[in-house]
Amino acid sequence: MKFGVVVFPGSNCDDDTVYALQHNLGQQVVKLWHKDHDLQGCDFIILPGGFSYGDYLRSGAIARFSPLMNEVIAHANRGGYVMGICNGFQVLCEAQLVPGVLLPNINQKFICKNVHLKAATTNSLLTSGLDKARAYKIPVAHADGRYFAETSILQEIKDNDQILFQYCDAQGQITPDANINGSLENIAGVCNKNRNVFGMMPHPERAADEALGNTDGKIILEQVLSVMVS
């Protein structure tokens, strides 16, 4: 499998993502500049974290119109895999590749710390091999991470089993106190109806190396490799 990591002006987790995929998972990875029009034959596209275009106007709103996003959207519509992490999740929402929006955190502050999340489903490539009873420790770093969707859309997401991750405590309990940003239903990640586009706010690439003292993120990223043997 060949991975492509899209780089926008203001991306700051592109190198982290490339390192995790290339060095920790042993995969072929290329960077894709946002002004290009060629996905270079990549099978799996990742929109990394950061502050695309300085988060001016609205997080992800400008990046959604970068030239390469036309190719990313077409790739997703053909059934190709796309994943957005943090700011990348925001871009996916702005491009309507996944449902919902990411609003400012309920405390109106930037949150940067380790949190816990658990898989809400195993019915997706990204979560297929995860233990639903386990709390995974993954870093977050965002100011606009509060997941929101209108009541009818939220119900549709739940009915279609599109919730990928929910914030929980260290014991795996989904509680109001564990909801770091005020997201509806403690939602930390969702997928599209076709289950080939994934968005999540926490940063698995920042917890994918033993030198960091945490490899829970590597476990999550490893799930996407199952397509290679499917």
Q: Please report which helix (H) or strand (E) contains residue 83, including its range.
A: strand 81-85
Among the listed residues 86, 93, 168, 191, the single catalytic one is: 86
Residue 59, SS3 per DSSP: coil
The DSSP code sequence of 119-186 is ES-SSSTTTTT--TTPPEEEEEEESS-EEE--HHHHHHHHHTT-EEEEEE-TTS---TTT-SS--GGG
Q: Active site includes 86? A: yes
Q: Is 185 a catalytic residue?
A: no
**Nearest residue to 94 via CA among 11, 199, 221:** 199
Residue 203 a catalytic site member: yes
Active site (catalytic) residues: 86, 203, 205
